[in-house]
Amino acid sequence: MTGLRRLKHLCLIGLLSKVAVGITATVIFMDTKVQAQETVKKKQAKSGYDYLEKPTRRIQDDDFANPGFFFVEAGSELWRKTVGVTEKSCAYCHGEAAKTMREAATRYPAWNSVLGRVINLEQRINHCRVRHMKARPLTYESDELLSLTTWVRHQSRGMPVKVDISGLAAPAFSRGKAFWFRPRGLFDVSCSQCHDDKAGLRLRAEIVSEGQTNGFPAYKLKWQKIGSSHRQFRRCNQLARSIPYAFGSQTYVDLELFLAWRGRGLKIETPAVRP
Ligand code: HEC
Ligand code: HEC
């Protein structure tokens, strides 16, 4: 092990020192080289919900207590609001979201032939605004875009994620997968090393889950707000002392596609509640 690698290793042990006591923590991280194999485990995916402590679960279980529902309601209002020079609303073309948007979110991210790339739900909504409503695209992570995305995804709550990674979407999927497994940043750690290998263990005060995206946009108690999966990716990049990518960047959309596939079959929980 080179000096620099050893330093990174020690940093990571330091970062995760409260995961387990003494020798266990060391053992957990001494085998990281073996774990870097690019295999996606075939075991049944588990939602972040399964890793929640009881009080947080209770908030998610109760739609009236779940603060994410403020965004669902705001989204339902925006759905009916006319915008742009065309003075059309989403409802003008799509009618009742409960019918027309049922299951739509289970397929995203997806290849879009007009744009010639894989796009996520936020980008699909903005595509409608620009192309069909002649309105400006909403800023990524703005309250408006978060609300509309939450509203649309909520119409698929309880339905299994089933993205298409074949054909033209295949290269984006491969890039997302490579991103997940590649160690990066000061700690030289990959997404997989935390979320495939350490799921169920504690990192400081948090229980590490599998890093699934079925609950997003999710209400994070820490943020006191609903946030997109890209906000979570940015936070995780920062946690591992690596540079975060921009909201809506193709790198994160590719990653989102890979993660949706990795968590295929998991039921959409939007808006989930997370610590
Ligand atoms: C140092 C460990 C660590 C690394 C590396 C890491 N994460 Fe996380 N991640 C966490 C912790 C801690 C949480 C919050 C608790 C939880 O849900 O796992 C989290 C949460 C998440 C969640 C939310 C899960 C849910 O159900 O709410 C996603 C998605 C996620 N991470 C994706 C990623 C991605 C993508 C990467 C790589 C860019 C990554 N993580 C790298 C520790 C890590
Ligand atoms: C002028 C009509 C029109 C308006 C207004 C409009 N859309 Fe669309 N939307 C479309 C068309 C056309 C499609 C493409 C349908 C297809 O691909 O089969 C579409 C597709 C979508 C999809 C993808 C559905 C799927 O099953 O893949 C979503 C999500 C969506 N729109 C959301 C919205 C939202 C949110 C708004 C309001 C901000 C909106 N749309 C406004 C015409 C419109």
Rg (CA), the chain: 19
Q: Tell me which of 19 and 200 has the higher pLDDT.
A: 200
Among protein residues, the one with the nearest Cα to ligand 1's atom 26 is 48
Domains and CATH numbers, the chain: 3-61+162-270 (1.10.760.10), 69-154 (1.10.760.10)
Q: Cβ neighbours of residue 268 under 8 Å, at least 6 residues apart?
A: 105, 106, 153, 156, 157, 158, 159, 160, 161, 214, 215
Asked if 270 and 150 touch (Cβ cutoff 8 Å), the reply is yes
Is residue 26 pLDDT above 70, yes or no?
no
Condensed to tens digits (0 to 9), the pLDDT of residues 49-104 reads 999 999 999 999 999 999 999 999 999 999 999 998 999 999 999 999 999 999 99
Give the confidence band of 4 by pLDDT, cuts at 50, 70, 90. very low
Establish whether residue 213 lines the binding site of ligand 1, counting it when its CB lies within 6 angstroms of any ligand atom.
Answer: yes
pLDDT at site 30: 34
Question: Model pTM?
Answer: 0.90
pLDDT number for residue 42: 62
Give yes or no: 194 in active site. no
Query: Does residue 239's CB lie within 6 angstroms of at least one atom of ligand 1?
Result: yes
- Residue 15, pLDDT > 60, answer no
Relative to the CA of 49, which ligand 1 atom is closest?
Answer: 26
From 93, 128, 191, 236, active-site residue? 236
Lowest mean pLDDT among 27-31, 32-36, 117-121, 156-160: 27-31
What is the model's pLDDT at position 199?
Answer: 96
What is the 253 CA–ligand 2 centroid distance (Å)?
A: 19
User: Each residue of 178-229: pLDDT tens digit?
Assistant: 999 999 999 999 999 999 999 999 998 899 999 999 999 999 999 999 999 9
Q: How far is the CA of 251 from the centre of ligand 2 (A)?
A: 24
Look at residues 36, 39, 20 and name the one whose alpha carbon lies nearest to residue 28.
20
Question: Among 60, 187, 209, 256, which is best to mutate for testing ligand 1, by the most ligand atoms less than 8 A from CB?
Answer: 209
Which of 236, 242, 249, 269 for a ligand 1 pocket mutation test, highest count of atoms within 8 Å of Cβ?
A: 236
Q: CB under 8 Å to 125, separation ≥6 — which residues? A: 138, 145, 148, 149, 152
Q: How far is the CA of 236 from the centre of ligand 1 (A)?
A: 5
For residue 41, the model assigns a pLDDT of 58
232 close to 10: Cβ distance less than 8 angstroms? no
Written as one letter, the residue type at 205 is: A
Q: For ligand 2, which residues put their CB under 6 angstroms from it?
A: 88, 90, 92-94, 104, 107, 124-125, 128-129, 132-133, 148, 152
Query: Once rounded to an integer, what is the mean pLDDT over residues 20-39?
Result: 38
Q: What is the Å distance from ligand 2's center to 268 Cα?
A: 20
Distance 211 CA to ligand 1 centre (A): 5
Ligand 1 atom with the smallest distance to the CA of 190 is 5
Lowest mean pLDDT among 8-17, 26-35, 46-55, 224-233: 26-35
Ligand nearest to the CA of 94: 2
- Coil, strand or helix at 27: helix
Residue nearest to atom 38 of ligand 2 (CA): 90
Round to whole Å and give the CA distance between 217 and 208: 18
pLDDT single digits (tens) 122-169: 999 999 999 999 999 999 999 999 999 999 999 999 999 999 999 999
